[in-house]
Amino acid sequence: MNQILIRSVLLDNRFSDVLIEGNVFKAIAPAGTLRTTEPDAMEIDGSHRAIVPAFYNTHTHAAMTFCRGLSDDVPLQVWLEKYIWPREARLSAEDVYVASRFAILEMIRSGTVFFADMYWHRTETARAAREMGVRACIGVTFADVLKKDSDENFRFIEENISAYSDRIRLAVAPHAIYTNSAESLKRCAEYSERFHLPLHIHVAETVGEENRSVTPTNGLSPVEYLDSLGLISERTVAAHLVHVSEKDLQILAARRVTCAHNPCSNMKLSSGTFQMKRFLEHGIRVALGTDGAASNNNLDMREEMKFASLLAKMTSGDPTVLSATDTLKMATRNGAETFGLNAGVIAEGKLADALLLDLDVPCFATGDVVSNWVYAANSSVIDTVICDGKLLMRYREIPGSEEIERDFRNRFSSRS
């Protein structure tokens, strides 16, 4: 097995040696005590570095990098119906591949090694993720109102489930209640249960979402309506959940749903105020996502951490809500566990996903590393990105990045 030994790196305020063997953390010990056993092992000097968990982005639309900065400052429905859906209708499979590679490049640079995607031409997003060495959960996306072929989607799941079982996995991804009929949503729930797949869906993102539902909800909230159809379970990853009642929160807690919280997108689209303190009080697992680059407008999970924590404090009026440590957990361990990954923690036996942060920068000169990582730093301090025991970025260099950027600009930029 390939070995990587990171020597004398700061981990949990102690200098340690961290040995990676294959795709797991094999051993962690005091600095200067570990040795490699393979002649071709790689050794990294971590003496001016801190090692922290990598990011797991639980809700995004990777290929939407192609429309970043082209449809800003409008309400969600106008944004979708006037700007986004018409552009998406013209997308080719190769467009999605090129845009997804560009998105993954941005994610790696900002420390993300996993993303849960919901988009079209899913095989092209999966191809990009495989080639670039990251993890992904690729949504098979359903949207009846856009006249996508639901039967073909269900056949795809049946025929490809075994091919998506390692770094790249599948999810059942009905877009929302305002793009899918009750019949389609029920069938999505059945396939999620039958194949033990995550069910990834937008829920309660805006006020009055139930009034736009394809099938009348008969006075039920979006959460209640989806629960009545069988879509609310421990496999459900519900993006946004901005507008929820006490009854909704009780349902979400009882069903052990994970909320994919997208603070930057919610604020930019003026979707509403996420009730972080109430989610935590109900014991609902919250993870973080960026949403797409068209509504954020970047894919930087470190930035998402800071906004999530500050927004939680401001809206609750309680500065103790969502500490730096808890925020980092949402962006790392919570996301990994949501998608069944034995990762998100730097610990023996866990999957070897990690970031090395450059400590020789002003924001780390004093204070706690985790606090400064959440509140003071930016993604430029990331020196090294490791996913599945392999170096995806070293000294901020990513192999092939120039080609990826050139291909994207040639295809999408009006200035190319």
pLDDT > 70: percent of the chain: 99
Instruction: Supply the pTM of this predicted model.
Output: 0.97
Decide which of 149 and 359 is more confident. 359
**Whole-number average pLDDT of the chain:** 95
Per-residue pLDDT, averaged over 348-354, amounts to: 98
Residues 6 or more apart whose Cβ sits within 8 Å of residue 148: 120, 141, 142
Alpha-helix residue ranges (DSSP H) falling in 256-351: 263-268, 276-281, 301-316, 324-331, 333-338
The domain limits of the chain are 3-50+357-401, 55-339
**Does residue 149 register a pLDDT over 90?**
no
Taking only the tens place, the pLDDT of each residue in 186-195 is: 999 999 999 9
If one looks up domain 55-339 in CATH, what number appears? Answer: 3.20.20.140
Count how many Cα atoms sit within 13 Å of the Cα of residue 285 in the half-sphere of its side chain. Answer: 23
CA proximity to 287, closest of 263, 251, 314, 252: 263
The answer to whether 28 and 11 are in contact (CB under 8 A) is yes
Judged on CB neighbours under 10 Å (0-12, 13-18, 19+), 367 is exposed
The answer to whether 27 and 34 are in contact (CB under 8 A) is yes
Radius of gyration of the chain (CA): 21
Q: Cα–Cα distance between 316 and 103 in angstroms, integer?
A: 33
DSSP annotation of 110? T
Place of tokens 């440590």: 325
Alpha-helix residue ranges (DSSP H) falling in 350-390: 369-375
Judged on CB neighbours under 10 Å (0-12, 13-18, 19+), 219 is exposed
pLDDT band of 415, cuts 50, 70, 90: very low
DSSP annotation of 349? T
Q: Cα–Cα distance between 207 and 247 in angstroms, integer?
A: 16
Third-level CATH fold of 3-50+357-401: Urease, subunit C; domain 1 (2.30.40)
Taking only the tens place, the pLDDT of each residue in 264-306 is: 999 999 999 999 999 999 999 999 999 999 899 999 999 999 9
